[in-house]
Amino acid sequence: ITEVCGAKRMGYFGPAQFYIALKLIAAAQSGFPVRIESIKNELPLPRFVALKNDTEVRYGTPAEFHGVKFQVPHATLEKNSYKRTDEGDKQEPKSPPMSPICSPPASPSTYQRIPLSYGYGKARSGLEHQHGAPYEVRHSTHQQDGPSSGNYGAKSAPTCSTTNRSLSVEREQQDSSTQYSDDPWRITEEQRDYYINQFRSLQPDLNAFISGSVAKNFFTKSKLPIPELSHIWELSDVDCDGALTLPEFCAAFHLVVARKNGYQLPETLPETLLPEYLQAACLKPMCDCALFDSYSEPLPSSQQARDFSRTEKSSAEEVPDNSALLQDGKKDDKQAPKVNTSLKTIPKEFQHLTVKAAAQEPNALRARPRSRSYSSTSIEDAMKKGEEPPTPPPRPQKSHSRASSLDLNKIFQQNTQAVRSGWLPPPPPALPPRPSVSQTEQPSEVELHPQMNRPPSQAEENSSAKKEVVLAQPPSKPARRKLRTEAQGLETPELSPTRNVTSSLPAVKPHLPVQKQPSKQKRAIQTAIRKNKEANAVLARLNSELQQQLKEVHKERIALETQLEQLRPVTVL
Amino acid sequence: QNYPLYIRSVPTENELKFHYTVHTSLDVVDEKISAMGKALVDQRELYLGLLYPTEDYKVYGYVTNSKVKFVMVVDSSNTALRDNEIRSMFRKLHNSYTDIMCNPFYNPGDRIHSRAFDTMVNSMMMQVC
């Protein structure tokens, strides 16, 4: 097999070789002769005894590379290698065999049987083509996506795939969350959903913090000894602010779960649990939830997340294909960096998109150094969001009607291509208007939309997949989003990057939640009010601290003056 | 009062002597605190500087606004250590201490078991030695 796939010749397993080798293994296991032609057959997935494939849900954010070693090379390779057309070619032959396997849309079992195909496609949820992965390869293989909307190469389309994956995850059976593949520190999709639900129970706003005492009570319920909880806190509270943001909370919860299952706590936070890593990841599940919720009840927070992902996606889309692709391909693990980088590369016009992303990263913003690691535009955007409140109300109706015209179901069920086409109709809500366009909502949005469709394959796919996810959200969301994006687009040019991020964060938050159509505006206003109140609280706290410092300085001064007085008569004498 | 929250020495022989030195230097710290000001927690200097030099080593002190004292004993022969380096070390200690404080599972007054804190202290000491 090694020889056939060319690894011997090359001396190492490149991505193409790896895939071919896997295919050949599957062929060999099914009794086919080991030849290059064999990979063209329809093959079941190769079975690797060591992998706990069947029990694990490999979805999760694209950034997550489940511990399967095979997948890791997939992931790493995919990022860069997918770009190469030759890779794509190799994938072509592979994909057809995969597609039948992947076809059943809600096929949890299929998904699980394809641990190796993880690189190829993640869960198919019949959602968007998702695989809109920026890579052209994906594009060519989108046929597979059709039936299953498989997401190939999570890496390539991190946001998209995560969304799809998470969606599929949600549909498919969920194995016990405590199972990991090889890496116990990866959070699977269902785990993340569970953590997010827990977060919601403690703190309804997904972008806010859980205070230390609340978290302490919550984690104490897990009956772990206090020193261990203390250590878990230390590991997960990366910015050391005494509060847990959503990714921090997910990490902490994950560590608690791991500990309860017998895993020893690490000395340092594993990479997959870093907030940056989880930030993007967390958003996706939220997006997914949002997608489902769209049918039921959108939650503001999830909507926020979705919007965020949407913005990310849309922003990613709009970024020139290569840059977006490159960034996406950069790291499998860190979606956040990817998103951020892609956001960074986004031209100014898309800043409004990043605004949304920024909104999603309130925590990141809190820790200023970390927030800087994110695209600076996100901070700006966060700030811009703060200025949004006045604008939203009038918009929703307009977009609302448009949103309602969206055929969400269609979006969900169509395969990639269909998705893409279906994606087109609801342009305005999903696409934030270009700043240049600014005022005109629809035109700008429409503009964006066609533009998004323009980039041929990868970027488009990627972005469209992302956008679809976004679009798939309930109609109310698009309307709301539209407002937001428009407002943001307007705001974008004005904001100055260096500002008090923390103060802007709370301001940002109000805009994030998306509401249902009927009470959209009211809820938006309420959340905006809430966010403003939070911002006020933060500022008030800051103020009081500064006041205290001022008082101390005063006291010192007084002390010095009295000393001086005491000394003076002495010198006189 | 004035019980140690955290104590660490490198190298580990004569550890008891260092413990004793630290304990006695607490008196000096207290004296400096009280001398500085009737006006309580004014922004007096947190860094107390050289508490007293003995023949073998120097003792530096630092106190936080919440009356938590940091005492550092360094070898006198280590002349490379300048004042601002000591200050920066104290600042790092203070920052780590506040990070510990942020942990809701930490009760002020408990001994410090934080691994992050340990790591930081160890790295600092390695740096000096």
Amino acid of residue A240: C
| pLDDT per residue as tens digits for the range A46-75 | 666 654 444 343 433 333 333 344 444 444
What pLDDT, on the 0 to 100 scale, is given for residue A456? 45
What pLDDT, on the 0 to 100 scale, is given for residue A250? 83
B44 to chain A: which residues are within 8 Å by CB? 556
Mean pLDDT of B94-105: 83
CA A363 to chain centre: 14
| Residues B83, A291: Cα–Cα separation, whole Å | 59
Domains of chain B, by residue range, sit at 12-125
Domains of chain A, by residue range, sit at 1-51, 189-281
Amino acid of residue B84: N
DSSP assignment letter at A374: S
Mean pLDDT of A73-97: 42
| pLDDT per residue as tens digits for the range A437-463 | 444 444 444 444 444 444 444 444 444
What pLDDT, on the 0 to 100 scale, is given for residue A337? 42
pLDDT higher than threshold 70 for residue A567: yes
Mean pLDDT of A430-443: 43
| pLDDT per residue as tens digits for the range A538-547 | 999 999 999 9
DSSP assignment letter at B63: E
Count other C-beta atoms under 10 Å from residue A297's C-beta.
Answer: 10
Count other C-beta atoms under 10 Å from residue A207's C-beta.
Answer: 28
Mean pLDDT of B27-53: 61
With vertex at residue A207, the alpha carbon angle to CA A203 and CA A210, rounded to the nearest 5 degrees, is 40
What pLDDT, on the 0 to 100 scale, is given for residue A556? 93
What pLDDT, on the 0 to 100 scale, is given for residue B53? 63
B97 to chain A: closest CA residue: A240
CB contact under 8 A, A240 and B102: yes
Rg of chain B on CA atoms, in Å: 14
Kindly report which listed range (A197-206, A337-346, A539-548) carries the lowest average pLDDT score.
A337-346
What pLDDT, on the 0 to 100 scale, is given for residue B107? 79
| pLDDT per residue as tens digits for the range A244-294 | 888 888 888 888 888 888 877 777 777 777 766 666 655 554 444 444 444
CA A172 to chain centre: 20
Looking at chain A, the whole-number percentage of residues with pLDDT higher than 70 is 28
Tokens of B117: 């804190």
| pLDDT per residue as tens digits for the range A110-126 | 434 444 444 333 434 33
A549 to chain B: closest CA residue: B43
| pLDDT per residue as tens digits for the range B112-123 | 888 888 888 888
**A276 exposed, middle or buried (CB, 10 Å; 0-12, 13-18, 19+)?**
buried
What pLDDT, on the 0 to 100 scale, is given for residue A549? 92
| Residues A56, A131: Cα–Cα separation, whole Å | 21
Buried b / exposed e over B14-26, threshold 16 CB at 10 Å, is eeeebeebbeebb
What pLDDT, on the 0 to 100 scale, is given for residue A248? 82
Query: What is Dmax (Cα atoms) for chain B?
Result: 43
The structural architecture, per CATH, of the domain A189-281 is Orthogonal Bundle (1.10)
Residue (of A96, A44, A85, A52) closest to A71 by Cα position: A52
| Residues A380, A526: Cα–Cα separation, whole Å | 23
Rounded to a whole number, what is the distance in angstroms from the first to the last CA of chain B? 31
Contacts of B80 (CB under 8 A, 6+ apart): none
Residue (of A227, A312, A520, A489) closest to A398 by Cα position: A520
B100 to chain A: which residues are within 8 Å by CB? 234
A267 to chain B: which residues are within 8 Å by CB? 115, 119
Q: What is the mean pLDDT of chain B?
A: 75
Q: What is the mean pLDDT of chain A?
A: 55
Predicted TM-score (pTM) of the model is: 0.37
> How close A243 comes to chain B (CA, Å)?
8
Cβ–Cβ < 8 Å for A43, A74: no
Contacts of A139 (CB under 8 A, 6+ apart): A131, A133, A456, A457, A458, A461
> What would the CATH number be for the domain defined by B12-125?
3.30.450.70
The residue that leads in pLDDT, A455 or A6, is: A6
Question: Facing residues of B63 across strands?
Answer: B69
CB contact under 8 A, B39 and A555: yes
Across the interface, of B42, B98, B104, the residue whose CB is closest to A555 is: B42
B39 to chain A: which residues are within 8 Å by CB? 555-556, 558-559
Chain A positions contacting chain B at CB under 8 Å are 212-213, 215-216, 219, 226-227, 229-231, 233-234, 237, 240-242, 267, 549, 552-556, 558-559
Highest average pLDDT, of A5-9, A157-161, A298-302, A477-481, comes from A5-9
Residue (of A183, A166, A190) closest to A68 by Cα position: A183
Cβ–Cβ < 8 Å for A298, A476: yes
| pLDDT per residue as tens digits for the range A202-233 | 777 767 777 878 888 888 888 888 888 888 88
Mean pLDDT of A291-308: 43
CA A557 to chain centre: 51
| Residues A81, A77: Cα–Cα separation, whole Å | 5
Across the interface, of A219, A234, A552, the residue whose CB is closest to B115 is: A234
> How close B54 comes to chain A (CA, Å)?
31
Mean pLDDT of A337-364: 42
| pLDDT per residue as tens digits for the range A486-509 | 444 444 444 344 444 444 444 444
A243 to chain B: closest CA residue: B102
Band the pLDDT of B4: cuts 50, 70, 90.
confident
CB contact under 8 A, A213 and B104: yes
CB contact under 8 A, A227 and B113: yes
| Three-state SS at A102 | helix
CB contact under 8 A, B40 and A216: no
The 3 state secondary structure assigned to A62-92 is CCCCCCCCCHHHHHHHHHHHCCCHHHHHHHH
Residue (of A505, A502, A526, A504) closest to A514 by Cα position: A526
**A466 exposed, middle or buried (CB, 10 Å; 0-12, 13-18, 19+)?**
buried
Tokens of A433: 């208007």
Chain B positions contacting chain A at CB under 8 Å are 37-44, 98-106, 113-116, 119
What pLDDT, on the 0 to 100 scale, is given for residue A41? 61
> How close B37 comes to chain A (CA, Å)?
7
CB contact under 8 A, B115 and A231: yes
What pLDDT, on the 0 to 100 scale, is given for residue A143? 42
pLDDT higher than threshold 60 for residue B124: yes
